[in-house]
Amino acid sequence: MEKNPMVAKIFSKKILFGIIIILTVINTILVWREYSLQEQIKQQSSKSLDLTLKKKLQQKVTEALTLYPKNGWNETLKVLTGVRWDCKRDGCDFEVFFNELLDSLAATLSSNQEFTLASATLGIIYPGNWKLADIDEDHENEIIILQRDALNVEYIRLKIIDFQSKPRITSFTLPEGYLSSPNSSGLGSGALEIRDIGGDNSPEILTFVSGGKGGAHLYAFRYKAGKLDLILRKDDLLYPEYIFTGKDKNGFSEIVVRGHNEDKEEVTQHLNIF
């Protein structure tokens, strides 16, 4: 049977057209793949700090605190909750964004309850970095906070918020970057303890913090009438464990410290605070 040249012509045109369509579809699929991969890469690599967002959210909090006397606590808390949601949604770092606002919160708000709720809402306080205790024996609780330098991990600030005192905020900067624990593991009871180590039935503030390597350094403080005194600093042993054993045979409170010295030998020391 003779081939119809017209049929052959049309058929070859159809084939050509089909090939073009197929190639276009393949190209489109490949381009979508390329585009979505690029988007993925952008998202994976963009765990960045949006400092513009930080300024914007801080501004919202500052404005709410400025209006607090007029608007009252409930309205202020609504704003802070909204800021928290914005932060969570946009993937911000709470400590980096809001730690700077702690002093403003303490200066503006009226009570422990308001302050702790506001600080918790903004992620400034969280389990392990704060305590509520009457550390100056005035029959009122103070708020004790260990606040990290979340951006550069260069220091930790011990802050006492005392609504009965002037100044309301007392601060001490520790030259350490990390929160640790009494056994240097960073786990367990946490970096902040309130206990009597002086044997006088008055509480001291104990902080277990670390420079990064070498385990927990102990800084102990007394707080009275807006004044914070460093009464003990122990940072010469490596990976120490601090044991609070109560009173020694002389009736004084004792801290046993077990760790390693510079020669990497295990040592046990006994500390007394008078």
Would you tell me which residues interact with another protein (CB under 8 A)?
24, 27-28, 30-35, 37-38, 45, 47-49, 51, 93, 95-96, 148, 150-154, 175-179, 184-187, 210-215, 217, 235-236, 238-239, 259-260, 262-264, 266
Q: Reduce the DSSP state of residue 169 to 3 states and report it.
A: strand
Provide, rounded to whole angstroms, the least separation between the CB of residue 204 and another protein.
23
For another protein, which is the closer residue by CB, 108 or 129? Answer: 129
Q: Give the tokens for residue 76.
A: 């202020």
Check if the beta carbon of residue 235 is closer than 8 Å to that of residue 165. no
For another protein, which is the closer residue by CB, 69 or 188? Answer: 188
Pair type for strands 217-224 and 238-247:
unpaired
Q: Give the tokens for residue 115.
A: 């302050």
For another protein, which is the closer residue by CB, 27 or 111? Answer: 27
With 0-12 CB in 10 A as exposed, 13-18 as middle and 19+ as buried, what is 164?
Answer: middle
For another protein, which is the closer residue by CB, 5 or 127? Answer: 127
For another protein, which is the closer residue by CB, 4 or 38? Answer: 38
- How far is residue 234's CA from residue 219's CA, in Å, rounded to a whole number? 7
Provide, rounded to whole angstroms, the least separation between the CB of residue 48 and another protein.
5
Check if the beta carbon of residue 220 is closer than 8 Å to that of residue 206. yes
For another protein, which is the closer residue by CB, 8 or 151? Answer: 151
Check if the beta carbon of residue 200 is closer than 8 Å to that of residue 257. no
Provide, rounded to whole angstroms, the least separation between the CB of residue 28 and another protein.
6
Cα angle for residues 199, 203, 207 (degrees, 5° grid)? 110
Q: Tell me which residue has tokens 């919202």.
A: 60
